[in-house]
Amino acid sequence: MISNTERATILEHAYLPEHLPHYVTAISGTEPFLIDDFVVHLSGTQLVFVGYPLRGDFDDEKMLTALEDAKARFEPATVSIIAPTLLPAIQNCSPSPTDSYYRLDLSRLRIPKKTRNMLTRARREASVSIGEYRREHKKLVKDFIRSRQLDDGSRFIFQRLQEYAQCEGALVFEARNPRGNLVAFDIADFAAREYAFYMFNFRSEKHAVPGASDLLLFHVIKRAQAEGKRYLNLGLGIGAGIAFFKKKWGGIPFLDYVSCTQKSGAGESLSELLDGLSRL
């Protein structure tokens, strides 16, 4: 288990959602540790290794050394790895499709005219405030799950959003129409020193408002700026539609991403969960 000092060190330098101890623990039930300059998450004999150092540039040798140290310390049956690249030295580990994390530089943010127009339109039909994760939020999530084919890992994550939303640093931004109906909501995280994190977004099909997601993101950005954050991590591109949304706000790829899992016959559930954590 990490000490309070180690937790403070992580939050001082965190720039990925997977670095955040409270997020991964709330969602997956894992226990966080710090190995050299790398965050790992442990659940029984299953280990998640976050191969992005908290400080400095990515270094092949440094990552491999920390990975071997983590294996020696915890003797896991399964190791799930995320990193900027899958190194040849990591054997028996088939890589996922590559992707990139996107971020906004909040000091250089310029909202395009089309997006400003969408915000103006959305403000006519919805207002945004910070609220609490309640039954109506859970219903939007359930509707989302029903409408899509999701793996077990993603379903498990969505079912634990209430636990995460109650963590210190996590905030629920909700958009409501004049009748008080929940139109959409975001969960964003502000626990790290320099980075805020755009974590989850859900929209109502019954009470749809065009531009509601833009309006929510605008308020997340304003909160991040008010708290003195330098960047907003928008997460992975995932698909063309989601990547387009992030790009239109000025999000640019800043880190490559690949994942893989080394198995010894067990632990598939955590590897699916890792993929869900990263791909949402």
- Per-residue pLDDT of 188-243, as tens digits, reads 999 999 999 999 999 999 999 999 999 999 999 999 999 999 999 999 998 899 99
The label of the residue with tokens 């190791």 reads 79
Give the whole-angstrom CA distance, residue 96 versus residue 106: 30
Topology alike, domains 4-98+256-279 and 103-254: yes
If DSSP states are collapsed to H, E and C, what string results for the chain? Answer: CCCHHHHHHHHHHCCCHHHCHHHHHHHHCCEEEEECCEEEEEECCEEEEECCCCCCCCCHHHHHHHHHHHHHHHCCCEEEEEECCCCCCCCCCCCCCCEEEEEEEHHHCCCCHHHHHHHHHHHHHCEEEEECCCHHHHHHHHHHHHCCCCCHHHHHHHHCHHHHHCCCCEEEEEEECCCCCEEEEEEEECCCCCEEEEEEEEECCCCCCCCHHHHHHHHHHHHHHHCCCCEEEEEECCCHHHHHHHHHCCCEEEEEEEEEEECCCCCHHHHHHHHHHHHC
Structure tokens at 69: 């140290």
User: What's the pLDDT score for residue 266?
Assistant: 45
Query: What pLDDT score does 87 carry?
Result: 84
Task: Please provide residue 204's backbone torsions phi and psi, each rounded to the nearest 5 degrees.
Answer: -85, 135
274 pLDDT above the threshold of 80: no
Instruction: Tell me the pLDDT of the chain averaged across its residues.
Output: 92
Domain 4-98+256-279, classified CATH 3.40.630, yes or no: yes
**pLDDT above 70 (res 261):** yes
Q: What tens digit of pLDDT does each residue of 46-98 get?
A: 999 999 999 999 999 999 999 999 999 999 999 999 999 988 888 888 888 99
In this predicted structure, what is the pLDDT of residue 264? Answer: 64
Report how far residue 147's alpha carbon sits from residue 121's, in angstroms, rounded to the nearest whole number: 27
**Contact call for residues 149 and 174 (beta carbons, < 8 A):** no
pLDDT per residue as tens digits for the range 156-171: 888 899 999 999 999 9
Nearest to 245 by CA among 63, 73, 102: 102
Contacting residues for 131 by C-beta, under 8 A, at least 6 apart: 172, 173, 174, 185
Q: What is the mean pLDDT of residues 265-274?
A: 53
- What is the rounded distance in angstroms from the CA atom of residue 87 to the CA atom of residue 60? 7
Q: Does residue 149 have a pLDDT over 90? A: no
What residue spans define the domains of the chain? 4-98+256-279, 103-254
Res. 270: pLDDT tops 70: no
CA distances from 212 to 63, 127, 134 (A): 41, 9, 19
Q: What percent of the chain has pLDDT over 70?
A: 94
Task: Say what the pLDDT of residue 267 is.
Answer: 44
Please write down the long-range contacts of 244-248, taking CB distance under 8 Å and 24 or more positions apart. Answer: 245/213, 246/102, 247/102, 248/112, 248/114, 248/115
- The reported pLDDT for the residue numbered 269 is 52
Work out the pLDDT band at 151, boundaries 50, 70, 90: confident
Q: What is the pTM of this model?
A: 0.93
- The pLDDT of residue 272 is 59
Structure tokens at 141: 């999530």
CATH architecture of 103-254: 3-Layer(aba) Sandwich (3.40)
Number of other CB atoms surrounding residue 256 within 10 Å: 13
